[in-house]
Each structure stands twice: as structure tokens, then as C-alpha cells.
Structure 1
Amino acid sequence: MKIASFNVNSLKARMGNLKDWLKEADPDVVCLQETKSTDETFPRGEIEDLGYNLAIHGQKTYNGVAILSKRPIEDVTIGLPEGDGDDHARYIECVIPVGETVLRVASIYLPNGNPIGTDKFTYKLAWMDRLKRHATTLLAYEEPLVLAGDYNVIPTPDDVYDPKAWEGDALYQPESRAKLRELINLGFTDAFRACHSEPHRYTFWDYQAGRWQKGQGIRIDHLLLSPQATDRLKACDIDQEIRGREKPSDHVPIWAELEF
């Protein structure tokens, strides 16, 4: 199975690009972020026509996550637990039957957190704590599990074109990076790093200052695998060329192949 994550940065603006990529890459499961679409305005028909079932958690103008699957979708969870009063559409989870087993998948759009020193950064760190607690529960199921999405965290200096340029950004703060390590250390594997040791492979290039043309990106979109999923990992890569297309998202898809 090919499982992908793609922050589309507005379905309305990227629908053509998304459909082209779905036809070319032919993923079995896709986790979308920043759909910026409500459940009612989500282009359900266009996606279903390509052979996908849908689980949607939308929000007007901001955020929005979804899961696309060629197989049936079951047991959908909307929103990250412990979210009393949190109306941000940042988390959706489901179970996908695969033969005699299941694959559990979550699409995650973690808060940006900027500027640091504000409630936004506090919210980011608290959200990461909530994710860690929920992930601990999910690991206890001992299922193949993929936590896929835009984590808005740069893990290491190897994942950014210029670490010093990001020292004042919430994506590269020691607290953000430490909480991502805490999550991974529960027993997850960074699928990309399990397959690639080379530095400076990116999933995001800002629209400003010609970052794409200059190769100045960051790696903030991640696929975290449970031990049961890691045992099935065959490949992982980034579809970087998508960023060079007309009217692209500032993110590109990252995908992993698991053998079932």
C-alpha cells in the first residue's frame, strides 16, 4: 500500500494539481491538510470519481484535514481528544481494513505556533502534548499505524537550508523539536529517515524570496510509523517536482509503501 501526506494549501486553489498527482502517483491512502474547505464545500464528487472513499474534517478558510482511501474507511475519529473548546480542524483518524488486518491512519495539521512568546506557541506545545497522549493510547492497540501530516516542526539542522535563519521561528524552537522527539521516542519511526540518510531533502519551500528556485526548503511533513507499520516499510520518498508546477502548494507530497 502506498500512503501519502500532502498539505494542499487550499483545495479550491490546488484541485487541478491534486487530481493530476493522484492520477500519476496512484496512492492507496492520502492524508490531506489545509484543505480550507468545509465539509459541505469539499469537492467530494471529484475525488470519489477517482476511486477514493473520504473522511473529512473541514473548516472555512483555515485548517481542514481529510483522508482519502481506495479501501473502505471505518471508525472515523474527528478531532484530537482532550480538545474541549478547540474548534480547529487539525486531526482526523480512521481504520482501513486490509485483508485480515487493519491500517490505522491519522491526518495531522499541527499548529504553526508563531510568533513565539505568544498564546499561539503555547497552544502548539499543548497540542503536541495532547497528540503524544493520544498516540500512547493508539500504540497500545499494536496495529500498523501511520501518523501522517504537516507537523510544522523541523526535526534537525539537516532538515533546513539554514538553521540560523530559523532560530527565531516556532518551527525550529528547542521546545518544538524536543516534543517531536518525545513523540517519536514512544516507539515511532520517521519513515523518511528510515529510508534516507542524506541531508537537505525538503517538503516545503516558502513562496517568498524565490525559496524554491534557490533550493531553500525545510522538511516539516512527516510519516511516523508504529513498530507494526515499520516492519512493513518498503520505501519512502518525497515528490519534490510537484512544487515546480503552475500554481503549486508550498508543500509537496511525501509517501511510504507498506507491504500487506
Structure 2
Amino acid sequence: MKIATWNVNSIRTRLQQVTHWLQHQPVDVLCLQETKVVDEGFPVAAFEPLGYHAYVYGQKAYNGVAILSRAPLDHVSRGFAAVIDPDQVGDLDEQKRVIMGLFQGVCIVNLYVPNGASVGSEKYEYKLRWLSLLKQYLSDLLSENPALLVCGDFNIALEDRDIHDPTHKQTHIMASPTERAALQQILTLGLQDAFRKFTPDGGHYSWWDYRAASFRRNLGWRIDHHYLSAALYERAKSCVIDVSPRQLEKPSDHAPVIVEI
């Protein structure tokens, strides 16, 4: 099976690009982030002729996640509170960032991790709280689903080789030591980076700022990931970043990342 993750930066703005991509890359599951539309406004009908079922969890103008799958998903849930005690979740489900479903026995979790704005800000502290709760959420899922795939826009470059220029990483959002440590804590659950199984070298990125001709100059960051439990990691056949949609006119600033299991 092939599973892709893609922050589309508005599904309505990028709808034609996404449907065109699926016609040429007919993955089994496509996990979308930053859909930026309420559930009722998600363009479900555009994907039905392509053979995809749509599962959405969105909000107006911001955030939002969705899963498109060629076969119906089982046990779809939205938000942390579907798995964790709502009292522990508190305000962390107000932003729509988590959706999960079972596809052919694989538990797929699609995430849009908060950006954090700037190191030390209120949004940064929110991001760290969110990541702490994510570890508990994934731990609970793993206890019942040993075949776990966690993908999405993590807004964290885990290592220096994931950034074109890591010089100021200590104070740069998405690369600060505290963010990296929070993600490393999550990975101690037994999750491994599918991309790094096949591509150990740097220079491969999934996000490029719209400014300063960053894509043309390959001044990017690798912040879109597939993390696999041990049961799936051994079965992974490939993991690639498809930069072709980033070359289009008015693209998302992210590229799809595809894992084959």
C-alpha cells in the first residue's frame, strides 16, 4: 500500500492540483493538512469520481486535517478526546489537528502539529503542551494497534541534516532543542522515520518558504514525516518526497511525501 502526506495550504485553493496529482499518483491513502475549511465545505464530491472516500476534521480559514482513502476506513476518530480523557485534553482539541482511521489493519494517524510562532511565545508553549499530549495519545493507540503509521506536517526538523542552514537552530522555531527533544520523546514509543530508512543524506526537503526564491535555490526544511511502528518499519519498501507539485504555479509551500509498505 502507498500512503502520502501533504500539507496543501487550503484544499479549495489547491483542489485542482490535488485531484490532478491523485490521477497521476493514485496512492491508497492521502493525508491532508491545513485544509482550512469547515467539514461541510470540504469538496468531497471532487474526490468521489477518483474512487476516494473522504474523512474530514476542519475549521474555517485555519488548520484542518483530512484523510482520503480508496477503501472505507474503520474506527475513524477525530481529536485527542476520542482516545484520551477529555479532562486531560482541555483546550488542545479546539484547533482541528488530529484525525485517525484504520486502513487494511494499519492505524493511520494524520497530524498537523502547531507551528509555535516563535521560541518562548505563548504559541510555542501551546505547541509543547500539544506534543506532550500527543505522546500519550499515540501510546494509547499503540497498545491496541501495533501496526501504527503517524504522518503529517510536524513543523519540526528533527536533525541538522533536515535544514538547508541549521546555523541558528537554537533560537529558530521548528528546530529549537526543546521542540526536537519533545519529538524525540514521542519516538521513544518505538516509532522510526521511514524516509531516513532509505535516504540518510541531507539536501532533501518537504517545505520551502515562498520568499527569497527558496524552492528554486533548494533552501528548504524537511518537516513532513512518516513515523512507523516496528511492525511497519520492517515492511517499508520506499519513502520519497515528490517535489513536482511544488513546481506548479501558485503551489502549496509543502510537497507530498509517499511511503510504500
CA deviation vs aligned residue, 1:50-108 (integer Å, no higher than 9, x gap): 11111100100000000111011121111123432331000001112x2xxx1110110
Q: Displacement of 1:166 after TM fit?
A: 4.4
| Paired residue type of 2:89 | G
Look up the SS of the partner of 1:85 in the other structure: helix
| 1:89 equivalent in structure 2 | 96
Identity of aligned residues (%): 39
Q: After TM superposition, where is structure 1 displaced by more than 4 Å over at least 4 residues in a row?
A: none
Residue aligned with 1:210, SS: coil
Q: Which amino acid aligns with 1:94?
A: G
Quote the offset at 1:241 in angstroms: 2.0
Asked if the contact 2:29/2:67 (under 8 Å) is kept, the reply is: yes
| Counterpart in the other structure of 1:7 | 7
Which residue of the partner structure matches residue 219 of structure 1? Answer: 222
2:107 corresponds to: 104
Pick one of 140, 154, 159 that aligns with 1:151: 154
- Offset from partner CA, 1:195-217 (integer Å, 9 cap, x none): 11111200000001110111100
2:233 & 2:254 partners in 1: Cα distance? 24
Report whether the alignment pairs 1:123 with 2:133: no
Take 2:200 and 2:217, find their aligned partners in 1: how far apart are those partners?
22
Check the 8 A contact 1:191/1:256 in 2, yes or no.
yes
TM-score, normalization by structure 2: 0.94
Q: Separation in 2 of the partners of 1:167 and 1:94?
A: 36
Deviates more, 1:165-174 or 1:56-65: 165-174
Which amino acid in the other structure matches residue 235 of structure 1? S
Q: Which ranges of structure 2 fall in alignment gaps of 5 or more residues?
A: 82-87
TM-score scaled by length of structure 1: 0.95
Deviation by residue 1:19-60 (Cα, 9 ceiling, x = unmatched): 111111110001100000110100000012211111100100
Count of residues in correspondence between the two structures: 254
* Alpha-carbon distance between aligned partners in 1 of 2:190 and 2:57, rounded to the nearest angstrom: 27
Measure, in 2, the Cα distance between the counterparts of 1:244 and 1:220.
Answer: 18
Between 133-142 and 24-33, the greater mean CA deviation after superposition: 133-142
Deviations 1:189-243 (A, max 9, x none): 1000011111120000000111011110000000010111112211110001221
Using the TM superposition, give the Cα deviation of residue 143 of structure 1 relative to its aligned residue in structure 2, in angstroms: 2.8
Q: 1:246 aligns with which of 227, 231, 249?
A: 249
Question: Does 2:80 correspond to 1:80?
Answer: yes
State the alpha-carbon separation in 1 of the partners of residues 141 and 3 from structure 2. Answer: 18
Q: CA RMSD in A?
A: 1.1
Name the residue aligned to 1:200.
203
